[in-house]
């Protein structure tokens, strides 16, 4: 495959991947509403997971193709991009206020989730099926806890985020149509991920990038587009809770759900650089973001500029090392 065809594969793959995520969420929301599940719970679960669907599909596909470094690089890169690139851009557009709840719960959970990966990977540089299933169990437990706490809060204020509203207020399709949406979404995710991975690998190899750096850059930014669109839109409208919730929630989902699902389906080896360098960049960016949030109770425009500078520096570093 030449680079022109690979570029087409990558672009078409990402479009199909992102559209598939939309169809999946649309259908899943419709099915959930049909069974009488409350809009609040749908917003906390189905819609919240929707922006992580591209990462799940891409990382599972990469793992199945025995591109474990691309699979986990996609998660590391997406997490770094969420906080430094997307968080930075959003804060520059409009400073992001950080609620006491986010400081007390969501941000610490994001950091702890990332730290849980260290013992799983550092011991033998291998993500086993047992370790992956444990990550998935933790993810299910966290979702259950989030739903429980959400129900408690909903008693006093039963509102749904604007991000969820765009799905919940769409015209109600029939149950059969929603099932078709789910199936089409799943097929589109699989097809889009396959095309995107094929294109990204060819393009990355053409310029000498390793599998890890392909995941950290091309795939990470591509699969983070839903978060970018959602958060920029929220920043323009001044909805800080959506920005923080989407960025932090997506990082937790990526760490536990995406890596867990990929490793459960196909255990894989992880290169030393992803454990010794890029993992700590992800942790470092998380700590910087958390420190900024605690110091000012907000991510200011200056903070956003610093975060964006960190991301640009990291991308330059990746370009210079090319995976060494």
Dump pLDDT digits (tens) for 65-113: 888 888 888 899 989 998 999 889 988 988 888 877 778 888 898 899 8
Looking at the chain, the whole-number percentage of residues with pLDDT higher than 70 is 84
pLDDT in the model for residue 134:
92
Q: How far is CA 129 from each of CA 54, 134, 151, 168, rounded to the nearest angstrom?
A: 21, 9, 33, 36
What CA–CA distance (Å, rounded) separates 1 from 253? 33
289-311 per-position pLDDT tens digit: 999 998 988 889 999 999 999 99
Residue 157 confidence (pLDDT)? 58
Task: List residues bridging with 299 in a β-sheet.
Answer: 96
Give the pLDDT of residue 179: 81
pLDDT at 152: 66
Q: How confident is the model at residue 288 (pLDDT cuts 50, 70, 90)?
A: very high
Thinking of the domain 3-321, which architecture would CATH place it in? Up-down Bundle (1.20)
Mean predicted lDDT score pLDDT of the chain: 80
Q: At 63, is the secondary structure helix, strand, or coil?
A: helix
Cβ(83)–Cβ(266) below 8 Å: no
Q: Is 104 exposed, middle or buried (0-12, 13-18, 19+ CB in 10 A)?
A: exposed
Residue 118, classed as helix, strand or coil, is helix
Cβ within 8 Å of residue 299, ≥6 positions away: 87, 90, 91, 95, 96, 98, 289, 292, 293, 307
DSSP run (H or E) holding 308:
helix 301-321
CB of 20 within 8 A of CB of 189?
A: yes
**What pLDDT, in 10s, does the model give residues 12-48?**
888 887 787 777 777 777 777 777 666 556 655 666 6
Domain residue extents for the chain? 3-321
Check pLDDT > 90 for residue 151: no
Taking 70 as the threshold, does the pLDDT of residue 168 lie above it? no
Chain centroid offset of residue 19 CA: 16
Which contiguous run of DSSP H or E holds residue 178? helix 175-206
Alpha-carbon distance of 181 to 310, in angstroms, equals 39
Answer whether residue 164 shows pLDDT above 60: no
In whole angstroms, what separates CA 115 from the centre of its chain? 17
Which two tokens mark 171?
């015209």
Spatial separation of the C-alpha atoms in residues 181 and 167, rounded to whole Å? 13
Picking from 270, 191, 160, 219, the residue whose alpha carbon sits closest to that of residue 13 is 191
- Burial per residue of 50-75, b for 16 or more beta-carbon CB atoms within 10 angstroms, e otherwise: bbbbbbbbbbbbbbbbebbbbbbbbb
pLDDT at 274: 86
Q: What is the pTM of this model?
A: 0.82
**Are the beta carbons of 80 and 220 closer than 8 angstroms?**
yes
- For the stretch 209-265, pLDDT in tens is 888 888 888 888 887 777 777 777 777 766 666 667 778 888 888 888 888 888 898
Torsions phi, psi for 284 (to 5 deg): -60, -45
CB atoms near residue 311 (< 10 Å): 20
74 in Cβ contact with 220 (< 8 Å): yes
Contact 73, 201 (CB under 8 A): no
| pLDDT above 90 coverage of the chain, percent | 15
């Amino acid at each position: 495959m030449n680079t022109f065809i690979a570029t087409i594969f990558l672009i078409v793959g990402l479009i199909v991947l992102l559209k598939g995520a939309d169809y999946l969420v649309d259908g899943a929301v419709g099915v959930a509403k049909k069974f009488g599940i409350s809009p609040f719970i749908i917003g906390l679960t189905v819609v919240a997971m929707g922006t992580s669907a591209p990462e799940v599909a891409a990382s599972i596909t990469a793992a199945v193709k025995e591109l474990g470094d691309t699979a986990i690089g996609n998660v590391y890169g997406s997490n770094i991009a969420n906080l430094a690139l997307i968080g930075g851009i959003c804060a520059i557009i409009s400073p992001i206020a950080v609620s006491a709840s986010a400081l007390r719960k969501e941000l610490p959970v994001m950091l702890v989730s990332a730290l849980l990966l260290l013992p799983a990977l550092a011991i033998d540089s291998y993500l086993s099926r047992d370790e992956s299933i444990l990550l998935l169990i933790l993810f299910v437990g966290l979702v259950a806890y989030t739903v429980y706490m959400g129900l408690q809060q909903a008693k006093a204020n039963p509102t749904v985020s604007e991000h969820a509203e765009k799905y919940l207020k769409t015209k109600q399709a029939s149950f059969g149509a929603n099932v078709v949406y789910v199936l089409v979404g799943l097929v589109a995710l699989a097809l889009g991920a396959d095309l995107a991975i094929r294109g990204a690998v060819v393009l990355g190899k053409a310029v000498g990038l390793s599998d890890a750096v392909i995941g950290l850059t091309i795939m990470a930014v591509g699969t983070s587009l839903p978060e970018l669109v959602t958060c920029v839109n929220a920043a323009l409208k001044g909805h800080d809770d959506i920005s923080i919730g989407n960025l932090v929630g997506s990082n937790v989902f990526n760490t536990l759900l995406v890596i867990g699902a990929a490793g459960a389906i196909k255990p894989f080896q992880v290169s030393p650089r992803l454990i010794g360098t890029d993992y700590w960049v992800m942790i470092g960016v998380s700590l910087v973001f958390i420190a900024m949030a605690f110091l000012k109770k907000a991510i200011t425009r200056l903070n956003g500029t610093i975060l964006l500078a960190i991301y640009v520096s990291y991308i330059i570093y990746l370009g210079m090392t090319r995976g060494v």
